[in-house]
Amino acid sequence: MLHSRIEDALNKQINLEFSASYIYLGMALFMDAKHLSGFASWMVAQSDEERTHARRLLRYMLDRNGNVQLESIPQPKIDYGSINEVFNASLEQEKSNTQSINALYALANELDDYATQAHLKWFLDEQVEEEKTITDILGRLELAGDDKTAILILDQALSERGGDSDAISIVDN
């Protein structure tokens, strides 16, 4: 049985993951409106990944007889000033998520909840990867500057994530 403080924190994290998914979908809409299908596809893949993270936590809670409580998700921003602004917002969101997972892990440690600590280890590693990937993209965007050809090359490179070049089709219908 989960400690009530862990249960509350896991429910909060589940909601943060679903909210992040929605935010990435909003970012995908912005990219699609700018005719950057590779960036849009990458953002849709991020959205899908965040939902997978939420479901992974949700499944863990159910396996531990936890009480899952889904909350409302705020409306995401869909208008940004630039590609860089989108990725800076994405990085800040991931950093915030990392802090939340770290706090959850610290709470599990404080309460001697070894199973939750073990489960969260994957999320700790995942956040390192998430922040690095976005930092790398921001670095490439900085190198590209205002070079439209370089932006289009990066757009093409990002479209290869997951192999689904038509991932944004969920908003095309």
Instruction: Give the tens place of pLDDT for each residue, 4-44.
Output: 999 999 999 999 999 999 999 999 999 999 999 999 999 99
Cβ burial, residue 23 (10 Å; 0-12/13-18/19+): buried
The Cα 123–Cα 100 span in angstroms is 11
Please report the pLDDT score of residue 163 as a whole number: 44
Q: Which of 142, 161, 134 is nearest to 38 (CA)?
A: 161
Q: Is 70 helix (H, G, I), strand (E, B) or coil?
A: coil
Fold adopted by 4-163: Ferritin (1.20.1260)
Q: What is the DSSP secondary structure assignment for residue 170, as one 8-state letter?
A: G
Query: Alpha-carbon torsion 131, 137, 138, 139, what sign?
Result: positive
